[in-house]
Amino acid sequence: MTNQLKYTMIFIKHDNSILMLNRLKPPLMGLWTGVGGKIDANESPTDGAIREVHEETGIVVNNLSFSGTVTWQTEQEDSGMYLFSCEIHDNAGYDEPKLVDEGILAWKDIDWVLHGSNEGIPKHIRLFLPSVLSGQVHEHLCFFRNNELEKYERHSLLKEDK
Ligand SMILES: Nc1nc2c([nH]c(=O)n2[C@H]2C[C@H](O)[C@@H](COP(=O)(O)OP(=O)(O)OP(=O)(O)O)O2)c(=O)[nH]1
């Protein structure tokens, strides 16, 4: 995998929940997202994702699945991220929400995360997350204007999927 995209986002699943970050700072300030961040120079997307998971949550993951890509186009920038997911078998000691440098980490029920009325999840995440959780590998294209998601497209990155 070559580093064409600048960021990663990782969805860590345990039972019916995902470890979500309520972000302290922009971008997506105050909203619940997967953990992740910028890929360092000379780092692969997978290594960047493993590092971000460890830095933000303390969890060491060794079973990340590549789950596709998301690109966004705004008036200011064209950028994007590699998506990863993994399943862990205990709650990593997160019985309660935990305050970390980047915000608040908490296990959130998948039904809550995907609920159509949930304004706390960025719109693009609500659109691409079902594909990630069902094990599909898509390229998700998001087009924003005035901070609103104006258009969304999805294409499979696997030949056998449509
Ligand atoms: N910059 C940016 N990131 C976005 C957008 N949409 C979106 O889902 N993301 C994701 C990509 C990353 O997972 C996360 C942003 O990561 P970040 O800026 O906190 O990365 P970082 O912690 O490495 O950066 P920093 O410490 O250097 O500020 O949000 C967007 O429009 N802009």
Tens of pLDDT along the chain (162 residues) come to 556 999 999 999 999 999 999 999 999 999 999 999 999 999 999 999 999 999 999 999 989 999 999 999 999 999 999 999 999 999 989 999 999 999 999 999 999 999 999 999 999 999 999 999 999 999 999 999 998 999 999 999 876 655
**What pLDDT is recorded for position 147?**
87
Which protein residue's CA is at the shortest distance from atom 27 of ligand 1?
Answer: 38
What is the C-alpha radius of gyration for the chain, rounded to an integer number of angstroms?
15
Q: Does the CB atom of residue 130 touch ligand 1 within 6 A?
A: no
Q: What is the domain range of residue 19?
A: 7-156
Does residue 97 fall inside a structural domain?
Answer: yes
Does residue 2 fall inside a structural domain?
Answer: no
**What pLDDT is recorded for position 160?**
60
- Indicate the length of the chain as a whole number: 162
Q: How far is CA 83 from CA 46, 64, 70, in A?
A: 9, 10, 7
Does residue 138 fall inside a structural domain?
Answer: yes
Give the Cα separation of 98 and 107 in Å (integer). Answer: 10
CATH number, domain of 115, equals: 3.90.79.10
Does residue 90 fall inside a structural domain?
Answer: yes
Q: Does the CB atom of residue 82 touch ligand 1 within 6 A?
A: no
Give the Cα separation of 30 and 12 in Å (integer). Answer: 20
Does residue 63 fall inside a structural domain?
Answer: yes
Q: Does the CB atom of residue 38 touch ligand 1 within 6 A?
A: yes
Does residue 40 fall inside a structural domain?
Answer: yes
Q: Which long-range contacts (CB under 8 A, 24 or more apart) does 152-155 make?
A: 152/124, 152/127, 154/127, 154/128
φ, ψ dihedrals at 123, nearest 5°: -55, -40
Which protein residue's CA is at the shortest distance from atom 4 of ligand 1?
Answer: 27
Number of domains in the chain: 1
Does residue 161 fall inside a structural domain?
Answer: no
Does residue 11 fall inside a structural domain?
Answer: yes
Q: Is 73 exposed, middle or buried (CB count within 10 Å of its CB: 0-12, 13-18, 19+)?
A: middle
Residues 6+ apart with CB under 8 A from 101: 24, 56
- The reported pTM is 0.95
What number is the ipTM of this complex? 0.94
CB atoms within 10 A of CB 103: 23
